[in-house]
C-alpha cells in the first residue's frame, strides 16, 4: 500500500445541551486511546474540540432538535476534529475580548493550539463545519 495509511474516523451525533461538550471530550478521549494516540496533540485536539462544541451549543441559531455532528479523523500522522451544526453563522474569526470578559476566547484558543483550522459548509445538511488539525510527532 505504498506506506500510505487510510484514515480512520469516528462520528457522533450529539444533542445541543450544556452537557454536550463533556460528552464530546469523553468520546474523543476514548477514541484517541483506541487509536493509540496520546500526548500533546491529543490534549490540544480535546481542548479545541471542547471549545468548538461549546460554540455550537451556545451560538448556533438552529431549530430545536437539531443535533451537533462531531467527527474525529486519524490518518497515522495527524488528528483532525470537526464540529458541524445547523447554524448559518459564518462569522468565524476569533473575537476581540477584554481581559476580564467571561467569553469570546473559544476560537482564539482553537487558533492557538491547532496547526491549522477553518470552516466550510456542512457536508450533509444545512449549516457549517468547523475543523482543526493536530500533527502527531514521534
C-alpha cell at 107: 476560537
Any domain includes 2: no
Residue 66 and residue 86 in contact, taking contact as beta carbons nearer than 8 Å: yes
Q: Is residue 48 domain-resident?
A: yes
How many structural domains comprise the chain? 1
CA 122, 123, 124, 126 torsion-angle sign:
positive
CA–CA distance, 133 with 120 (Å, rounded to integer): 14
Whether 73 and 80 have beta carbons less than 8 Å apart is answered as yes
Check residue 23 and give its pLDDT. Answer: 97
Q: What is the span of the domain harbouring residue 35?
A: 7-91+131-138
Q: How distant is the alpha carbon of residue 133 from its chain centre?
A: 9
Is the residue at 27 inside a domain?
yes
In a domain? residue 58: yes
Q: What is the pLDDT of residues 60-117, one digit of tens each?
A: 776 777 889 999 999 999 999 999 998 776 555 555 555 555 555 788 999 999 999 9
Amino acid at each position: 500500500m505504498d506506506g500510505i495509511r487510510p484514515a480512520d474516523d469516528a462520528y457522533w451525533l450529539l444533542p445541543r445541551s450544556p452537557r454536550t461538550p463533556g460528552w464530546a471530550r469523553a468520546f474523543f478521549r476514548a477514541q484517541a486511546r483506541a487509536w493509540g494516540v496520546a500526548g500533546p496533540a491529543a490534549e490540544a485536539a480535546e481542548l479545541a474540540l471542547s471549545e468548538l462544541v461549546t460554540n455550537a451549543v451556545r451560538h448556533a441559531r438552529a431549530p430545536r432538535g437539531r443535533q451537533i455532528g462531531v467527527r474525529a479523523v486519524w490518518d497515522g500522522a495527524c488528528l483532525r476534529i470537526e464540529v458541524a451544526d445547523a447554524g448559518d453563522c459564518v462569522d468565524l474569526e476569533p473575537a476581540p475580548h477584554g481581559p476580564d470578559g467571561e467569553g469570546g476566547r473559544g476560537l482564539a484558543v482553537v487558533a492557538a493550539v491547532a496547526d491549522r483550522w477553518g470552516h466550510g459548509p456542512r457536508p450533509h445538511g444545512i449549516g457549517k463545519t468547523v475543523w482543526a488539525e493536530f500533527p502527531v510527532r514521534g
